[in-house]
Structure 1
């Protein structure tokens, strides 16, 4: 349990500026609405992607156990 009175600080994922992680920061983990919208735009433009390894279903048929 964290008993210190100082709020936790994190780096904004977009601009790397240090920001406070608390319920008072409605944009967390971002420092501002601007940084939050930049990140959302990156997802919308498909700049961020989750890698997928495609397999041919005939190469590795499922087990019949």
Structure 2
């Protein structure tokens, strides 16, 4: 597996994020992958997903496949 340097990543918080602190941020400027992190812990770890897998996950959330939280 190739390591991805996230030191200069531009992190973006979802426009759907509320003020309750349950937010994720993505770094959209990488080709083929999408880094995701907890906005409450910006120095903590990031998960890196294949871009296609992330798009499928988001589509599932939008379609209500995971119910409500």
Q: TM-score, normalised by structure 2?
A: 0.33
Q: Higher strand share goes to which structure? A: 2
Higher-Rg structure is: 1
Q: TM-score, normalised by structure 1?
A: 0.34
